[in-house]
Structure 1
Amino acid sequence: MGKAGTQEKTRTRRHANRLPAEKRISDILAAARQVFTERGYDDALISEIAERAGVVEGSIYRFFTNKRDLLVKVVEIWYEQMLEEDRAQFAAVKGTWNQIRFVVLQHLYSIRREPGLSRLVFQKLRSEPNYRETRLFQLNQSYTHRIIDIVRAAVASGEFRPDVSAGLVRDLIFGGVEHRTWAFLRNEGDFDPVALADDLANMIYRALAVADRVAPDQAELIARRLEDVADRLERVAAREAKA
């Protein structure tokens, strides 16, 4: 290594040492989010994260146990940000159908904005044996629980049938979203967040609502959307049959 390179590394080390710990942690997490999003987990290098954060590599291990620990912290912060943003907006949403659609649409937008982090959650973190014991699992439960609250409130008010399982509705919605966006996450397709949110909200509401609680104009809208969904499914089936 030349003299110039050595001097540069020395300046970087001194600069990093002068930074408050909170600032260094924040810079490391921001850099890690970029690298994990761009490279995935396996190809992400601690050395590149350190370089982007403007710290020496050893600084990362002062605050994080290993690369996995760093990824977990990045994803936890992402969930916390989404929960906070959604909480403020959700308070203004009125009506069961609108609330279901809001939750679905926000989830779809999060996948659209952060496909790299979404892949890491679905493929890497959620499949680990101790996932249900982690704080990330608890955050995900909070993130998805709003659907349970919406459904329970609709059941209590008589808008939804009394035999509805709120947990099953949550699983159907988030499982359905994951299935419908998987091609996008594999870079093999795309999806329309608004159209998909409308379709899911319509199907869920129509299936759960007590018949005489559905307004005529809403029933007509739901029927049209269901017909559109059926037509699209038929076209997909026809294409797959020809393949």
Structure 2
Amino acid sequence: MTSHRPGVVRLSREERVRQILAAATDEFRSAGFDGASMAAIASRAGIVEGSIYRFFENKATLLTRAIEVWYEEMLETYARELSVITGTRARLRFMVWRHLKTVHDEPEMCSLMFNYVRGSDGYRATEVFRLNSLYTARTLDIVREGIAKGELRDDLDLRLVRDVIYGGVEHRVWGYLRGEGSLDPEVLADSIVDMVMAGIGVADPLVARLSAIEATVCATVAS
């Protein structure tokens, strides 16, 4: 007769990994990387600590995988939301706003990603690096679409456009992640996109003609 331990549920490897990652994500959110422990993660998951090491080498690899899963799910949501937005400015604005909104709503996870995953020696070998590259590439695809439609200048350095957008975003969010001041995703997204579009957008022909006439009149008066 086979003995059976009541209340014990055997999970598949995939289910157990998901369980551990969910517990780890909750623990990292509440305690940070330094404050989190494998024992606390195991307790949240309802398993013995040694079980975690069957799937993850150490706390750092567990954090990296938790961030990868979080980032992957987040980008899938971004893609669905972006798919119904039309117009170059609106699509660029969405990408900037969504980035800022995530930082605003998930400061703990963003801090973990910036400080422990992105700053690690092996960052470029992680799935997070690949996903982040896809995310910024999507923004550049929007710029290319704008160029093709004649809405944006066709002489743009795309890498520079990317650096201006996300360099500006990150410069502003670092203070927020350090607990310095507030962050308004709506206002900041509009400000960043307005400035970027002013530099990369094709000038309105009427506005350009009026500006030329104004310059001519001013030159005539001055002479």
Does the CA-based 8 Å contact 1:184-1:190 persist in structure 2?
yes
Q: Which residue of 2 aligns with 1:167?
A: 159
* Residue 160 of structure 2 corresponds to residue 152 of structure 1: no
Q: Which residue of 2 aligns with 1:80?
A: 72
Compute the displacement of 1:67 (Å). 0.8
Distance 1:80 1:131 in 2: 16
Unaligned runs of 5+ in 2: 208-223
TM-score when scaled to structure 1?
0.78
Q: Which residue of 1 aligns with 2:210?
A: none
Match 1:30 to one of 16, 22, 32: 22
Does the CA-based 8 Å contact 1:159-1:213 persist in structure 2?
no
Match 2:11 to one of 10, 13, 19: 19
Distance 2:46 2:77 in 1: 29
Distance 1:15 1:60 in 2: 17
Compute the displacement of 1:106 (Å). 0.7
Compute the displacement of 1:101 (Å). 0.5
Runs of at least 4 residues of structure 1 off by over 4 A? none
Compute the displacement of 1:107 (Å). 0.7
More displaced 10-residue stretch of structure 1: 165-174 or 136-145: 165-174
Alignment of 1:131-146 (within 5 A): 131-146=123-138
Distance 2:206 2:92 in 1: 15
Compute the displacement of 1:213 (Å). 6.7
Unaligned runs of 5+ in 1: 1-10, 216-243
More displaced 10-residue stretch of structure 1: 100-109 or 176-185: 176-185
Per-residue Cα deviation, 1:88-112 (whole angstroms, up to 9, x for no partner): 1111101011001100111111111
Does the CA-based 8 Å contact 1:97-1:201 persist in structure 2?
yes
Q: Which residue of 1 aligns with 2:100?
A: 108
Question: Using CA pairs below 8 Å that are at least 6 residues apart, which structure has the higher relative contact order?
Answer: 2
User: How much is the aligned-residue C-alpha RMSD, in angstroms?
Assistant: 2.1
Alignment of 1:53-132 (within 5 A): 53-132=45-124
Compute the displacement of 1:68 (Å). 0.9
Higher-Rg structure is 2
Distance 2:121 2:11 in 1: 37
TM-score when scaled to structure 2?
0.85
> Size of the alignment, in residue pairs?
204
Distance 2:29 2:205 in 1: 45
Does the CA-based 8 Å contact 1:173-1:200 persist in structure 2?
yes
